[in-house]
Amino acid sequence: MIELIHVTKRFGATTAVDDISLRVEPGELCVLVGTSGCGKSTTLRMINRLIEHSDGEIHIDGQQIRAFREEALRRRMGYAIQSTGLFPHWTVARNIGLVPRLLKWPTPRVRERVEELMALLGLPPAEFADKYPRQLSGGQAQRVGVARALAADPDILLMDEPFGALDPITRETLQEELRALQARLGKTIVFVTHDMDEALRLADRLVVMDQGRIRQQGHPLTLLREPADDFVASLLGGEDRGLKEAALLPVSERMLPLSPRLLPRERVAQTATLREALAIMLWRHAERLTVVDDEDIPIGELSLRRLVGARAND
Amino acid sequence: MTEAVLRILPRRGRRWLAPLAWAALLLGACLGMEALEGPLRWVEPDSREVIYARADFLTLLGRHLLVVGVAALAAVVIGVGAAVAVTRRAGRDFLPLVAQLASMGQTFPPVAVLALAVPVLGFGTLPIIVALLLYGLLPIVRNTLAGLEGIDPGVREAARGMGMTGGQLLRQVELPLAAPVILAGIRTSVTINIATAAIGATVGASNLGDPIISGIVNGNTAYVLQGALVIGLLALTVDSVFARLRPAGQG
């Protein structure tokens, strides 16, 4: 658990982070989002003391972070950044094993752990272990960066725009993998981004920051439906919020049981998002879709009226 | 012939072929200077002696190497040390000062350093070592600074964020990454100083500058040529050794 209590950071006369309080529960993926210079990266870097906070308290699992030695604190947390920061003179395997070696794990255990992580992140050890960072694509390098952050199995993961420099397709793949990884490993993650779609896709808790303050925090759907002010509303996409919300809701949410009527020809998976369902409707000029399960068996149907949230049954 | 040599040498040894060849020429010049008597006699037909014989060339070479080596070692320790110190957080404030001092060291002519050092340190080897040290500092400081500053800030940030201590960061990341640039600075420094060391002969530091100074004083161009030849070969040998040095782990 991470807790920030009335935390302020001043650089000389300017206040980068202004009296913020934030609580990230264990296993929660908390996304800090905002425009550049809003203090989100500073906030992240205060948690592992790359930047020391000026006022307030930061607690990790109930203990003040200043109670730890800086290095000991950082070794307890994974840290992944946009530029990956992989050491160019070390192989992939050595890069991943950095923190375990700093923690003086025995060599066989480090090797075992590195291979485990490479497999977990889809980097076959036989192919990648001995490569150097310059031989990797952007997406591969970022996977190595995430593997390195996870290496010593920390409870907490800090990620500073880790996917910011990747092409949209790779970015989406890695976002999905992070979600899956999070579901499996249950880490407490603080993730910084300025990409609202990424924030909405990943967050359990979304924290909107502006000028060093938290404007609003909560579940992404709450923020979409009830933005605290115009700034949050416009940052969340203004009129596009409807589509963004639809992208967060699964078809199963609005689906109706099968009716005795003829099944519509166009199909949509129940795990698809409402936004995807809407796209199919637009593309196929269909007002009704058959909802199917994983095995392509019809289990319900979805009409345009239901999709847009009309209450009445049709 | 060349191919035969290449076949005998193990693969790893081949890159040392050029330094070995220069070293062989250097030794050959030191041991067999008499062989050049013909051409030298043609350059200097009026002199009685054309082969410098007041001291053995190998001895001079040894002394020359010692002076340059000691000066280089001191310059590396001081130069790299200073550059590392001023790139740490605590020493940041001194960065401009150190950069300035190092530049001044090179604008100050070694001859002037010698002139100033002799009254304090006396004649002999010490003044020339001091002069070479000051003169050789700049390339080392400058390159170490460039090497350290040239490291991707993300690498440093990640290293600290992962929990490396300052010492671990320096030894395991910064120095290895800056090594090629630092090495290039040392190479420049040493190569320049091999030539510069010759002026030490004017203040009584006996080295490969002896034949040159003696040749100038006695109007014997043959002596000058011999000194210059050996110094040139030494510089080429050392330079080609440096050209082949590659920090470990960087293929």
User: A146-184: per-residue pLDDT in tens?
Assistant: 999 999 999 999 999 999 888 999 899 999 999 999 999
Interatomic CA distance for residues B171 and A161, integer angstroms = 28
Contact A120/B at CB under 8 A: no
pLDDT tens-digit map of A285-298: 988 999 998 898 89
* Closest in A81, A82, A102 to B163, CB measured: A102
- DSSP track, B137-204: HHHHHHHHHHHHHTS-HHHHHHHHHTT--HHHIIIIIIHHHHHHHHHHHHHHHHHHHHHHGGGGGGGT
Whether residues B158 and A84 touch (CB distance < 8 A) is answered with: yes
Interatomic CA distance for residues A67 and A73, integer angstroms = 9
CB B220 within 8 A of CB B46: no
Minimum distance, in Å, between the CA of residue B81 and any CA atom of chain A = 22
Residues of B with CB under 8 A from a CB of A: 152-165, 168, 173, 176-177, 249-250
Whether residues B158 and A81 touch (CB distance < 8 A) is answered with: yes
Whether residues A102 and B168 touch (CB distance < 8 A) is answered with: yes
A chain contacts of residue B167, beta-carbon cutoff 8 Å = none
pLDDT tens-digit map of A61-112: 989 999 999 999 999 999 999 999 999 999 999 999 999 999 999 999 999 9
Q: Dihedral through CA B77, CA B79, CA B80, CA B85, nearest 10? A: 110
Whether residues B157 and A99 touch (CB distance < 8 A) is answered with: no
Q: Can you give the pLDDT at residue A215?
A: 93
Q: In a 3-state reduction of DSSP, which class is residue A246?
A: helix
Phi-psi group of A19: left, alpha or beta (phi > 0 → left; psi -120 to 50 → alpha; rest → beta): left
Spatial CB neighbours of B171, under 8 Å, sequence gap ≥ 6: none
Long-range contact list for B233-238, CB < 8 A, 24+ apart? B233/B22, B233/B25, B233/B26, B233/B29, B234/B26, B234/B61, B234/B64, B234/B65, B234/B194, B234/B208, B235/B191, B235/B194, B235/B195, B236/B22, B237/B19, B237/B22, B237/B23, B237/B25, B237/B26, B238/B190, B238/B191, B238/B194
pLDDT tens-digit map of B34-44: 777 778 778 77
Q: Can you give the pLDDT at residue B150?
A: 92
As a whole number, mean pLDDT of residues B187-204 equals: 87
φ/ψ of residue B203, rounded to 5: -110, 25
Interatomic CA distance for residues A209 and A43, integer angstroms = 10
* Closest in B158, B163, B249 to A85, CB measured: B158
Minimum distance, in Å, between the CA of residue B176 and any CA atom of chain A = 8
A63-64 β-sheet, strand order: A14-24, A2-11, A55-60, A63-64
Contact A87/B at CB under 8 A: yes
- ipTM of model: 0.84
Q: Which chain B residue has its CA at the smallest distance from A73's CA? A: B163
φ/ψ of residue A164, rounded to 5: -60, -30
Whether residues A74 and B176 touch (CB distance < 8 A) is answered with: no
* Closest in A72, A82, A89 to B177, CB measured: A89
Do the strands A188-193 and A156-160 form a parallel or antiparallel pair, or are they unpaired?
A: parallel
Interatomic CA distance for residues A178 and A183, integer angstroms = 8
Spatial CB neighbours of A309, under 8 Å, sequence gap ≥ 6: A254
B interface mutation test: which of A68, A86, A89 has the most B CBs within 10 A?
A89
Whether residues B162 and A73 touch (CB distance < 8 A) is answered with: no
As a whole number, mean pLDDT of residues A191-209 equals: 93
Is it the case that residue B82 has pLDDT exceeding 70?
yes
Residue type, B185: G
Beta bridge partners of B129: none
Element (H, E) at A2: strand A2-11
Is it the case that residue A46 has pLDDT exceeding 90?
yes
What global pTM score does this model have?
0.82
Q: Can you give the pLDDT at residue B100?
A: 85
Interatomic CA distance for residues B161 and A149, integer angstroms = 10
A chain contacts of residue B156, beta-carbon cutoff 8 Å = 85
* Closest in B162, B177, B249 to A74, CB measured: B162
* Closest in A50, A82, A90 to B161, CB measured: A50
Q: Which chain B residue has its CA at the smallest distance from A45's CA? A: B161
Q: Can you give the pLDDT at residue B233?
A: 92
Contact A75/B at CB under 8 A: yes
Interatomic CA distance for residues B178 and B158, integer angstroms = 17
| The two structure tokens encoding residue B78 | 């001081």
Whether residues A86 and B155 touch (CB distance < 8 A) is answered with: yes
B chain contacts of residue A89, beta-carbon cutoff 8 Å = 173, 176-177, 249-250
Q: In CATH, which of 3.30.465.10, 2.40.50.140, 3.30.1330.60, 1.10.3720.10 is domain B65-205?
A: 1.10.3720.10
Is it the case that residue B13 has pLDDT exceeding 70?
no
Interatomic CA distance for residues B171 and B6, integer angstroms = 37
Q: How far is CA B112 from the centre of its chain?
A: 20
B chain contacts of residue A81, beta-carbon cutoff 8 Å = 154, 157-158, 161
Percent of chain B whose predicted confidence (pLDDT) is above 70 = 92
**Least confident stretch, A120-134, A168-182, B47-61:** B47-61
Res. A10 pLDDT band, cuts 50 70 90: very high
Q: Can you give the pLDDT at residue B4?
A: 56
Q: Where are the domains of chain B?
A: 65-205
pLDDT tens-digit map of A224-253: 999 999 999 999 888 888 888 888 888 888
